[in-house]
Amino acid sequence: MTKFKITETKIKDLIIIDPVVLSDQRGFFMETYNKRYFEKLGFNLEFVQDNHSKSKKGVLRGLHFQKEHSQGKLIRVTRGSIWDVAVDLRKKSPTFGVWHGLILSQENKKLFYIPEGFAHGFLTLDDDTEIQYKCTDFYYPEFDSGINWDDPDIGIKWPFKEFGLEEENLILSERDMDQPSFKEYLGGAK
């Protein structure tokens, strides 16, 4: 029985997963991860940590990655909606520095698998938005790092206007207000 529909992106191994939603008079049931099924699809993933965060509308978290112990992430939104974005930081990748963004929401139930070697960020489009994601390695604060979400060399087209958000009113953490540029990241600075 098919449990997931995989959609590839222009970036190798960065995939969008649509779980099969089984509805009945009570509501719905869906499997959101199945090791055996993912292996059949060629994704042999070992998750060791689950994360869950809640954000107000207009929060931007990112662009984050771990310099060592890079984490693959299987992301989904269980309440509200986000515009999620991944940036390919795999040095030898033909799509190095390329980004891909999409809407993940309680409604569309999509999952986004971001492999190791990517930076990750998201913009929340609803109040009380909750995301839950599985990680292929543990959190190592000493390796926690980032790149400026608005870096011109990466050029992410954040959909502020499309969702009635204003860049100047974004809600950011202290560190996300002052992340290194892509050039600094490339130069190994900071």
Residue 121 contacts ligand T46 per CB under 6 A: yes
Annotated catalytic residue 113: no
CB of 155 to ligand T46, least distance (A): 19
Q: Report d(CA 14, CA 100) in Å as an integer.
A: 9
Query: Strand pairing of 118-124 and 60-66?
Result: antiparallel
Q: Which of 100, 113, 120, 133 is catalytic?
A: 133
Task: Tell the residue number behind the tokens 């299987």, with chain if given.
Answer: 74
Eight-state DSSP code of residue 96: T
Residue 76 contacts ligand T46 per CB under 6 A: no
Q: Which of 64, 100, 113, 185 is catalytic?
A: 64
Q: What's the one-letter identity of residue 139?
A: Y
Letters for 16-45 (x = contact with ligand T46 by CB under 6 A, - = none) are ------------------------------
Which is nearer to ligand T46, 37 or 184 (by Cβ)? 184
Residue 50 contacts ligand T46 per CB under 6 A: no
- CB 41, CB 4: distance < 8 Å: yes
| Cα 3–Cα 79–Cα 71 angle in degrees, nearest 5 | 65
Which is nearer to ligand T46, 3 or 76 (by Cβ)? 76
Residue 7 contacts ligand T46 per CB under 6 A: no
CA distances from 175 to 76, 125, 148, 172, 188 (A): 24, 21, 10, 8, 18
CA distances from 149 to 43, 71, 112, 138, 179 (A): 29, 19, 19, 23, 8
Which of 139, 157, 162, 178 touches ligand T46 by CB under 6 A? Answer: 139
CB of 62 to ligand T46, least distance (A): 5
Interacting residue ranges for ligand T46, rule: CB under 6 A: 51, 53, 61-62, 64, 73, 120-122, 139, 173
Catalytic residues: 64, 133
